[in-house]
Structure 1
């Protein structure tokens, strides 16, 4: 058996990490729900770069249902220039390291303007954490690697738990917590099957020199994060597109060196197409 890489070790830690977050949700969300449980925003804005942005996109459907309002996901440069229509917005600044310069500058700008900003970061005493109105720690333990995995999924889960802690639709909140419990229980087997599938098909993928990843609807954030992980670990060109953008000309770039991976509905399977 091949020795696990550091990346694989962090991936394997996720089920235990998710269970710990779920079981500690009242402690994690207590201060947030105390300070913002009675606040009804007319828009929720999630700001982050790279994996933090994609985590926001993955969490967005739950946040929209929990607050019953529009949730907008932006990178810091977009948020700084955007004219957002909202009288009572609630901002989340997401940065695993807490030292993202653009995110920090935006948090300072927003708090100076009197806006409420919640930082979600591994380091509450980081620049982003200290500049925010409230800092929620990401309880992920050590992840000293560039290609983040458990930190990304922990960010998604933490955002969901924060939203569910103030959700007025108790029936929805209960269903979501039950779904998250099933996720934790099924995760070890899902990871085992994913590893087996990857090992069985690795020789199919190795010859390709350009990868295209497609997503649609609520799967787009996961598709973008998957594309980033492929790029960070394989050092190959990887492009990610929404399905409806891809069919407007991008398919013309496919050739024998390209592999197409589709993360699309209706049933959520991951499909692949190898182009000859």
Structure 2
């Protein structure tokens, strides 16, 4: 499929889109709200299964930790094939949520059908009206971000994470896990995060442009972050690989230290995404300093100023993130998205032209 939109423009639209989704949440959540009035679900949900592929899976990861904390039950992001293979061990009051922004993922559709046949409550999440997936869930949750006519998902990913956050806040209120006042506080925090996004985009552009030019000949990019930012790590690896079209790896810092460091070569470039605080931040500072002393090329988002040595600050992006403990995944993706789009352009790649136009048709992985 050939696209015609501008991914960079879609990133710029993100703050307004997220703000509109928050303000229009009553309409967005109306269809899904009805499932909590059903006799079978009034007694509560035993677990939530979130399933999708690519950016949809990564969005599920981005929302799952918050959802689990809020609902007090297991919330598991899994790939569609895993849902189908492990259906017999899913508890009988499970809620299965299938995510496909374009609504064309055949694997997600099959997973929703399999869950429905087992009698589980199912919700289809998509950004497109009247697509095939909307006919395979008991309720539909629309990601109201508008059509993304580009070869890599940007605003759709962030809008999906936000929409899932809103869904789980609603679910927590309807099942008695939080009060109306607590819900209002969560929504207020989301507004604060989205309201800060225009400033992040403005702060990021110059650094992303300079860094993209430095990555023009990169052949081995390693993303490093902490477990609290796993969704951003997964989405970064996917999108840098997809848009810059060379293999990109990513690891949580402690996992990297247990063997992966042996795969570092003179060609390796590092991109660090520092969490706001905690043990992992300290460990990442030490790791950053180690490879800095060895002369490796490395770039960092949110590196503490105390760890930024003379001559290295040009490779560091210090954004004024809100660093909300639950919702920071929304803002941390913006510089990454801007960087992979600009890096792909610096490398002379047209994102809107697929490298292998026959792939999905041959594999049957998307409905054309």
The answer, yes or no, to whether TM exceeds 0.5 is: yes
Which 5+ residue runs of structure 1 have no aligned equivalent? none
Partner of 2:117: 112
Q: What pairs with 1:1-276 in structure 2 (closer than 5 Å)?
A: 6-36=6-36, 38=42, 40-82=44-86, 83-167=88-172, 168-170=177-179, 171-267=181-277, 275=296
* Higher CA-based Rg: 2
Distance 1:30 1:20 in 2: 16
Instruction: Indicate conservation of the 8 Å contact 1:45/1:92, yes or no.
Output: yes
Greater Cα offset, 197-206 or 231-240: 197-206
Measure the CA separation in 2 of the matches of 1:39 and 1:24.
28
Give me the whole-angstrom Cα distance separating, in 1, the residues matched to 2:158 and 2:43. 26
Task: Note the C-alpha offset of 1:220.
Answer: 0.5
Cα offset for 1:259?
1.1
Taking structure 1 as the reference length, the TM-score comes to: 0.91
Root-mean-square deviation over aligned CA pairs: 2.2
Once the two structures are superposed, residues 12-41 of structure 1 have per-residue CA deviations (whole angstroms, 9 ceiling, x without a partner) of 010110010000011111222232264521
- Give the corresponding residue for 2:310: none
In structure 1, C-alpha distance between the alignment counterparts of 2:182 and 2:79, rounded to whole Å? 29
Q: List gaps (5 residues or longer) in structure 2.
A: 298-368
Output the CA distance in 2 between the equivalents of 1:239 and 1:175.
Answer: 37
Offset of 1:172 from its aligned partner?
Answer: 4.2
Q: TM-score, normalised by structure 2?
A: 0.69
Asked if the contact 1:213–1:239 (Cα under 8 Å) also holds between the matched residues in 2, the reply is yes
**Could you give the per-residue CA deviations for residues 247-275 of structure 1, whole angstroms, max 9, x where no partner exists?**
22111111121112232435398987673
Distance 1:84 1:95 in 2: 24
CA distance in 2, matches of 1:86, 1:244: 33
Q: Distance in 2 between matches of 1:265 and 1:172?
A: 26
SS in 2 for 1:176: helix
| 8 A contact 1:94–1:121 mirrored in 2 | yes
SS in structure 2 at match of 1:192: helix
- Deviation per CA, 1:98-140: give whole Å up to 9, x if none: 1111111111111122111100012342222101111111211
